[in-house]
Structure 1
Amino acid sequence: MLREARTASVPVTEVRAANPVVPHREGAVSHDTSRQDGGPHVNSRERESSRPNDVNQHLIDIVTNLTESVATLQNCYQRLESRLESQTRRPVAAAAGSENQPVVDSSRPVPAVINSPSVQLVPTPLQAEYTLETAYKRFQEDSTLSQDVKVSETGSSGRPSSCSLPPNGVNYDDLSLHVDSLWDSALSQRTRASYQSGLNCLLTFILMQGTSFPANTLPAVDEDVLIRFVTHCQKSLHLKFDTIKLYLAGIRFHYIKNKLGDPTANTLRLSYILRAVKKTQVNTSVKRLPITCAILANMCNAIAQQGMFNPFVDLMLLCIYKTAFFGFLRCGEFTCNAVWDTNFIRICDISVLPDLSCFNLTLRSSKTDPFGKGVNISIFENSVFTPVSTMREYLNLRLSSGATLSSPLFLDHIHSSTPLMRHTFISYLKETLSRVGINNKSFNGHSFRIGASTSAAAAGVEDHVIQTLGRWSSDCFIRYIRINPATIRRAQQVMSS
């Protein structure tokens, strides 16, 4: 008992010195000598008799497990640090040489990966740097640094990065409003109104059939409903084939917009019905006649010499007739269909050169300009019609009357600021033609564009020049050229000679 008490009271270092390495024998527990935790070599019999040594050994095991946990955390931190450095290396390299860019400290030592379960109890200075507290603190520092580094922009030069997000996140309400505006911008104002008319016609037809549906919703539509709707438009409403097709396009647009799919998809029977409608309808459209150079001269001479309406309207019509002819203008490019239309020509859209050799017209909206970039048209002076001098005289009259640069160029009434309406211009045109003794039945606002093409072809202007003057993107301008009987007669005489 006295020997056991003395042995228990001896410190661990003394026990290690007093008890040299004991050879391994059967029934004894031996620890690896490579362990650096100071654990003694004690067999099973001595462990049973040395309870304080068991407490020490238990504490050593706990510390060893904790050290292994710290090693695992160091491993995780290493991987995280490597990932952060790989993400920030390229932006820092791209920003090298800039004084305003932060520099990532790449010389910081990287801890070695500890894989052995036998870990020293006394940490080295390098290991003391990577504790849980210091690892978390350095992780925060690296995260802040990676946020401060400016990410280099990729792609074409001058193009902003498409992967950046606003700091406050995404406002889905603003996005929804912008999506609605994009839906509206997908169509022109005139097409949007026609599509809405087609949808209203369909909804009215469905209600007439005794089918009800909730407000602000679209009813379910199948091929049978569309076939009956087309038949109703042809038989009861007496609509033309082109109008029926336009209505179907409007129905398709609104159903796709409301996430209801395309009701006209896979409608084989409907296509045959539309073909039948087209064949059964008689083409009653009147072929529009051109206002050629000779007709334009008669109209201008009659207005200038005799006068037709009042001095202001006469000068405005002279300016319109000459500009529409030499500019190959469509009627919708210088007139409006409704008072709320904003795509009209303003005074500021006209710029006259100081030498009066030319004036430039900017169209805010055109059929061949769906994105609204604007179309520039140059009209040069000539000694026969003097379009530039007429435009300069008209501009001086408007500006002297108190008009501003944002005022409409052509007015619907002399004492109003309303832009010129299409029906008003057509009435002026037909009245002018009647005054010069021409039957006005087959003339309309598009006759100036047709007449300019016909006159250019008769004068020997090359086809590609005509296509450029009329702003055509294909050879469809050939349909605008009207060949008179005298030209056909001369061609046949040349063929027979």
Structure 2
Amino acid sequence: MCKTDISDAFKLVPILPSQYHLFCVKWRNSYYFYTRLAFGCRSSPKIFDQFSQAICWIAKNNYEIECILHLLDDFLTIDRPDYPAERTMAILTLIFKRLNVPLAKNKTMGPNTVMEYLGIILDSNLMQARLPMDKVLRIREMLDSFYVKKSCTKRELLQLLGHLNFASRVIIPGRSFVSYLLRLASSVRELHHYVHLNSECREDLYMWKLFLEQWNDAKVQATGTKCKQSTAALPSHGESPLENSSRLELLVSNSISSSPQMVYNTGLPSHGESPLKISSRIEALMSNSISSSTQLVYNTGYQTFVRFNLMNNFCQNATEDTLMRFVTHCFDSLNLSYQTIKLYLCGIRHHLLLQGIPNPFASDVKLQRLHMLLNGIKRQHRSSRPSRKPITTNILLDLVTTLQKGMFSPYSDLLISTVCVVAFFGFLRCAEFTCKSSFDPESNLCLSDLMVHKDHAVLTLKQSKTDPFRRGIGIKLFRNNATLCPLKQLASYLCLRNRNFNNNPQDPLFVMENGNALTRSYFLAMLKDLLNRSGHADSGITGHSFRIGAATSAATARIEDHLIKCMGRWSSDSYLRYIRTSDSAIQHAQLSMLQSK
């Protein structure tokens, strides 16, 4: 198969001068006339399609190209297995060159046995037509978002139906689970009106999720030794591609029918059973095997891999050669770091495992060439990430003293000072006491997560990096009767907070002046402003600076290693990476070496 696309299609067809006045635009007292076919004009596609039909006639009758299909400016040729497809591609480009018709180089591909055409992957090896993985992921994300909704607008539902109708060209049994959604969309008149998503609607969405996982293919049956073109099966101008059920038949010049497995080995539940709920539960539990942040990175890596395969016309199977090409593309073209590339590979492995697709990561043979390539990237890559600086005890004392003198508002000063002291003595990461955008009581700190006693307070983290299974971690903050006393800071803050805001147990613990939960961006902006006004540089200060500063201060105070690991919740010696050694400490160590005998 070979495909090509005409560049700037409508601009190739001129308009009669006598019709210039019909394509006129007035702007700033000046008149502008289209001299070529305009996009958006109702007759433009029909006129250009006649030009495309003429090209197909020339290719078939003058150059003996047996099977050539087109949809406006997209052309596809199909050859027999024993025919030199390179000759067809050469003839096709020659025709366009002689007609002085420019081609889009990035959309000219072939010959190949696997190719995406009009949004559908045609595979002549497996005799399949299937949806690309990026479209499958997009539709699954839409289905997941609709499943948790109680209602949606008619516009949103029609957008989902547009994707499902397109997918039903390949997922044949999905057509039966669109009719109810269509009736639901027609129950209201205006696009902004809301429709209720009931249990029957969710059952149809469940079915579509199963179809996307298991039936993303339509078998192609050859009808003869030669491909027969049938331009009548292509949608004419003005005809909705969703209403044309014969397009896939034309793409392969054969008939698409359900595979035998779709009839005899469906795996669908019989009446009265409920494996849909079981399947959904399995999917939910498997998706919870990793954290949401890790899942976001994995999804990005896998989608990048899918796009890379599509751009280079590679098969979606993850072979070692394909992975090596993908890794090189990430390093040279995307300028990704070694660590990010490793995460992307983990994301590919994760998605292949979820889909039950055989992958080289699960084989007994080690990917030695891939590991050599990664080692080469690691040696060549130079990290440009700036060093993260600590907020030690002395810097923290300056910050709290500045806030006590008054810097922002009385409430903001007390909020920031309390958060800084708690984050320091609790060895907290920024994500453990702030939220990114919206507050989630299932993961973020709530009022109920803080228990204040006479000589100490217990802060319970519902989830953290070192607690992936959400068992909960209790952090004890003891009274020290100093300026940097976490218990004193918390008592003063809670008194002022409860006077200004609600004190429900599920409300956020740290609240900004506008009543919303403390966000990461707000806290870091206030922190850097505070550092500048306190006479400290804000370069290298991140959300980890309190954790790094706490470990550094503990090491300077000669606290035993096992206590540092305990306070910082480290299970390995990785805490050593957080300790920053000052120049004065190194100078003192060198002077001590002179006293050795």
Partner residue of 1:314 out of 402, 413, 430: 413
Partner residue of 1:173 out of 247, 254, 276: 276
Asked if 1:246 corresponds to 2:343, the answer is yes
Residue aligning to 1:141:
none
In the alignment, the residues of structure 2 paired with residue 294 and residue 407 of structure 1 have an alpha-carbon distance, to the nearest angstrom, of 33
Asked if 1:476 corresponds to 2:574, the answer is yes
Residue aligning to 1:414:
513
Gaps of 5+ in 2: 1-271
Residue aligning to 1:284:
384
Shift of the alpha carbon at 1:317? 0.5
Asked if 1:236 corresponds to 2:339, the answer is no
Shift of the alpha carbon at 1:192? 0.8
Residue aligning to 2:303:
200
Partner residue of 1:363 out of 461, 470, 486: 461
- Aligned to 1:182, what secondary structure does the other structure show? helix
Asked if 1:399 corresponds to 2:505, the answer is no
In the alignment, the residues of structure 2 paired with residue 186 and residue 261 of structure 1 have an alpha-carbon distance, to the nearest angstrom, of 20
Cα pair 1:195 1:251 within 8 Å, conserved:
yes
Residue aligning to 1:390:
489
Asked if 1:225 corresponds to 2:325, the answer is no
How many residues are paired up? 319
In structure 2, the CA distance between the partners of 1:309 and 1:261, relative to structure 1 (3 Å rule), is farther
- Aligned to 1:382, what secondary structure does the other structure show? coil
In the alignment, the residues of structure 1 paired with residue 538 and residue 530 of structure 2 have an alpha-carbon distance, to the nearest angstrom, of 9
The equivalences for 1:20-59 within 5 A come to none
Residue aligning to 2:529:
431
Spell out, residue by residue over 1:31-85, the C-alpha distance to the aligned partner (whole angstroms, 9 max, x if none): xxxxxxxxxxxxxxxxxxxxxxxxxxxxxxxxxxxxxxxxxxxxxxxxxxxxxxx
Cα pair 2:317 2:359 within 8 Å, conserved:
no
Spell out, residue by residue over 1:406-452, the C-alpha distance to the aligned partner (whole angstroms, 9 max, x if none): 111123x42133x3222222212211111111111111111111111
In the alignment, the residues of structure 1 paired with residue 449 and residue 478 of structure 2 have an alpha-carbon distance, to the nearest angstrom, of 16
Cα pair 2:449 2:460 within 8 Å, conserved:
yes
Letter in 2 for 1:376: G
Shift of the alpha carbon at 1:455? 0.9
Cα pair 1:199 1:250 within 8 Å, conserved:
yes
Cα pair 1:366 1:372 within 8 Å, conserved:
yes
Asked if 1:189 corresponds to 2:289, the answer is no
Residue aligning to 2:559:
461
Asked if 1:374 corresponds to 2:477, the answer is no
Letter in 1 for 2:346: A
Shift of the alpha carbon at 1:340? 6.0
TM-score by length of 2: 0.51
Shift of the alpha carbon at 1:300? 0.5
- Aligned to 2:475, what secondary structure does the other structure show? strand
In the alignment, the residues of structure 1 paired with residue 510 and residue 304 of structure 2 have an alpha-carbon distance, to the nearest angstrom, of 35
In the alignment, the residues of structure 2 paired with residue 373 and residue 351 of structure 1 have an alpha-carbon distance, to the nearest angstrom, of 18
Shift of the alpha carbon at 1:253? 0.5
In the alignment, the residues of structure 2 paired with residue 486 and residue 295 of structure 1 have an alpha-carbon distance, to the nearest angstrom, of 17
Cα pair 1:347 1:395 within 8 Å, conserved:
no
Residue aligning to 2:401:
301
Percentage identity across paired residues of the two chains? 39
In the alignment, the residues of structure 1 paired with residue 552 and residue 480 of structure 2 have an alpha-carbon distance, to the nearest angstrom, of 19
Cα pair 1:315 1:394 within 8 Å, conserved:
yes
Cα pair 1:198 1:250 within 8 Å, conserved:
yes
Gaps of 5+ in 1: 1-168, 214-218
- Aligned to 1:420, what secondary structure does the other structure show? coil
Letter in 2 for 1:272: M
In the alignment, the residues of structure 2 paired with residue 340 and residue 396 of structure 1 have an alpha-carbon distance, to the nearest angstrom, of 22
TM-score by length of 1: 0.61
- RMSD of the TM alignment (CA)? 2.0
Letter in 2 for 1:495: M
